[in-house]
Structure 1
Amino acid sequence: MMIKEIKVKSVLNKLKVQDDWFLVDYSVNPFMGCALNCVYCYIHGSKYGGEDTTTFQVKVNAPEVLYRQLKKRARRREYGFIGLGSSTDPYPPLEKDLQITRELLKIIYRFKFPVNVTTKSTLILRDLELLRKIDEKAILPPKLGNKLRHGVIVSFSFSTVDPVLAGIFEPGASTVEERLETMQKFKDEGFLVGANLMPILPFLSDSEEELDKMIKQMKDHGAEFILVGGMTLFGDKPSDCKVRYLDVLKEHFPELVPKLKNCSGILLHLLGLISINWLY
C-alpha cells in the first residue's frame, strides 16, 4: 500500500446532534482510507476512502489543526465526546512509527475533551497511560456529566469471533483473541470498554447461535456494552465495498452469493438489532 502525505484545513467534524449510539459530538480521523483493509468496509468507494484502495493518506498536519480547533471549542466550553476512528481505524500498523494518533490524544488531553476510541488493533495498548490521564481529567458535556463517570470509552470492533472468518474478512486487524485480551486489559485497568459487533456478516455470523457466542465472548472479556449493527454494501466499481465483498464470497463461500444478491440496493441485514447496556 502506497503512503501519501496530505495537509488538511480541518480535522474536527462537529455533528449536528449527539450520536445516540456512540455518545459523540465530534469526530476526528487522522487518516483517509484504512490500512486494515477489511473487505466489507463501507469507506471503500465512498468520499471517506475514495476509489483508490492502494493508497493510504496521512493527514500530517492533523495535530496542529486539531490544536487550533479544540482551543476555540474549549474557550467556548463546547465540550463533547470526540469519536476517534469513525471512518478509519486510528491504530493502523504505520501508527507505531507515525504517532499521529498519539499526538492527537495529547492535544485532546491538553484541552480536557472526552474521547471514544474505536479500533481493531492492539496498538492502542501503547497509549493506555495517556488515555488514563484523559479519563481522569476530561470535562463531560452537561447532558452526560451527571450520568457518565468516564472521560474515555474504548470500543473494540468485531464482525465475528471465528478466527478463520476474521482472517478472510479482516486481514489487517489484530486477531480476535488479541482484541479480546486487549479489551480485558483495559477493563482490568478501570476503563469503560465495550464491543461493536459491526457489521455482522450476513449468513455467516448472524445466526442466533453465533450471536449468542459472540455476546458471551464479549461479556466474558469485560465488555460493559455491546452494539450490534448490520452491513452496508453499495457500488458497482471494482473498488466499491459491494463488489469487493461479493468477490471474496465467490472465492470462499460461493453458495452465499445468490442469497446476498437478493438483497437489493443498500443491504442492512439485521437493521435495528442492538443490545446495549451502558453502565453509568
Structure 2
Amino acid sequence: MRELVQKIKVKSVLNKQKYVDDWFLSGYSLNPYSNCSFNCVYCYTRGSKYGEHQVPGLAAKVNAPEVLVRQLKNRARKREYGFIAFGSATDPYLPVEKDLEITRELLMIILRFHFPVNLLTRSSLILRDLDILKKIGEKAILPKEFDGKMDTGVVLSFSFSTTDENLAKIFEPGAPSPQERLETMKKCKDAGFIVGAIFMPLLPFLSDSEEHLDKMIKNVNENGADFVMASGLTLFGDGPQDCKTRYYEVLEEHFPELMSKTKDVFGNSFAPSRKYQQELHQRFVKLCQKYQIRNKIY
C-alpha cells in the first residue's frame, strides 16, 4: 500500500544545537521528513510534547535541498564545521524516500560542503547511498575537538528498542524487522563504516532485563557494531495521540500484567525514576564490558 505523503516547503532544514551532543557528536540536526510511517508506539515526537507544531501525517520537505545549500554554504564560509545528526527525529529512509530521494540529494549537498554526518536509521534503504556516504567519510572536515579521536566523517547508527521479532511487531509495527536492521548494519560494517546500535528506548520489563539486554548486545556485536548506546523510555502527554497514551493502550492490550509496575516506575514524571535509570545503566555497562564493546561512539 502506497504511503500518503504531503509535500511541504520549509524555511530552514538545518538546526544548530546550542552545544555539541556528547552522545551523537552532533552540532547540527537535519530531518528531511516530518512525522514517520514506521508508527513506533513509544515515539517521543508524537503528540503535544514535540509534535504540536508539525503538520498532520507524513510530510516531505521537498525544498530541503535548496534550503540546505544556502544554510551549509553559510556555515562552511564561517568554517563552522560539525557533525550533522541526520534523522534524529524522523527516519531519513522511510519507504517514500525510495521514490523521492530527498535524503540522497541532501547527502550529496553535505558531501559538497564537507560536513561530517552521524546518520540514524532502521532501514536497509541506506545501502543505496553507501557510495555517497563513503565519499563524505573521506572528505569531511572534522571539528578540532575530534583531532586524534576519529579518522572518518561518517558514523552509521541503527536504532533498536529490542531485537525480539515479536516484541518489535507490537511496538514498531511499521518499521523494518530487527533482523533486517542487523543484516544491514553488518553490510555497512563490511563496507568499512563505523557502525553502532542505539538502544533507545529500552522498554521497561520487556527489553531492559539483563537477560534481554545480553541477547541484544550479543546480536549487535555479532553483526559488526563498534559501539552501543542505551537509554530508558520517556512518555509524554495525556492526549489521544500522545506517546504516553498510546504506549499504555498497547501495554494494556498485550501485557496488562505490566501496567502497574510500569506506571510505578514513572510516577508523575515523563521519565523513569532515577533509581531505575541508574540500575539500567549499571546492567548495560556491565554487559558492554562482557562483550568488550564501547558504550560510546569513540
TM-score over 0.5 for the pair: yes
SS at match of 1:104: helix
Give the corresponding residue for 2:176: 174
Letter in 2 for 1:266: F
CA–CA distance in 2 between the matches of 1:52 and 1:111?
A: 29
SS at match of 1:69: helix
Work out whether residues 24 and 297 of structure 2, in 8 Å CA contact, stay in contact via their aligned partners in 1.
no
Work out whether residues 48 and 239 of structure 2, in 8 Å CA contact, stay in contact via their aligned partners in 1.
no
How large is the Cα RMSD of the aligned pairs? 1.7
CA distance 1:116–1:261, shift in 2 (3 Å):
same
Give me the TM-score of the superposition, normalised by structure 1: 0.95
Name which of 41, 44, 49 aligns with 1:42: 44
Give the corresponding residue for 1:201: 203
Work out whether residues 48 and 87 of structure 1, in 8 Å CA contact, stay in contact via their aligned partners in 2.
no
Work out whether residues 236 and 242 of structure 1, in 8 Å CA contact, stay in contact via their aligned partners in 2.
yes
Letter in 2 for 1:31: Y
Residues 8-87 of structure 1 correspond to what in structure 2 (within 5 A)? 8-46=10-48, 48-50=50-52, 55-87=57-89
Offset from partner CA, 1:202-247 (integer Å, 9 cap, x none): 1101111111111111111111110011111011111000000011
CA distance 1:200–1:53, shift in 2 (3 Å):
farther
CA–CA distance in 1 between the matches of 2:144 and 2:9?
A: 34
Give the corresponding residue for 1:268: 272
Give the corresponding residue for 1:154: 156
Instruction: Indicate yes or no: 2:244 matched with 1:242.
Output: yes
Shift of 1:173: 1.2
CA distance 1:52–1:103, shift in 2 (3 Å):
closer
Aligned residues: 280
Shift of 1:3: 1.9
CA–CA distance in 2 between the matches of 1:279 and 1:16?
A: 20
CA–CA distance in 2 between the matches of 1:192 and 1:22?
A: 13
Letter in 1 for 2:198: N
Shift of 1:277: 4.2
Give the corresponding residue for 1:97: 99
CA–CA distance in 1 between the matches of 2:55 and 2:251?
A: 19
Judging by fraction of residues, say which structure has more helix.
Answer: 2
Name which of 106, 121, 124 aligns with 1:122: 124
Work out whether residues 53 and 239 of structure 1, in 8 Å CA contact, stay in contact via their aligned partners in 2.
no
SS at match of 1:146: coil
Shift of 1:4: 1.7
CA–CA distance in 1 between the matches of 2:272 and 2:17?
A: 23
SS at match of 1:87: coil
CA–CA distance in 2 between the matches of 1:49 and 1:28?
A: 16
Structure 1, gaps ≥5 residues long: none
Work out whether residues 34 and 49 of structure 1, in 8 Å CA contact, stay in contact via their aligned partners in 2.
no
Structure 2, gaps ≥5 residues long: 286-293
- Between the aligned residues of both structures, percent identity stands at 61
Offset from partner CA, 1:53-111 (integer Å, 9 cap, x none): 96111111111000000001111111100000111111111111011111110100000
CA distance 1:101–1:279, shift in 2 (3 Å):
closer
Offset from partner CA, 1:11-51 (integer Å, 9 cap, x none): 11111110000000100011111111100010011464338
CA–CA distance in 1 between the matches of 2:61 and 2:189?
A: 31
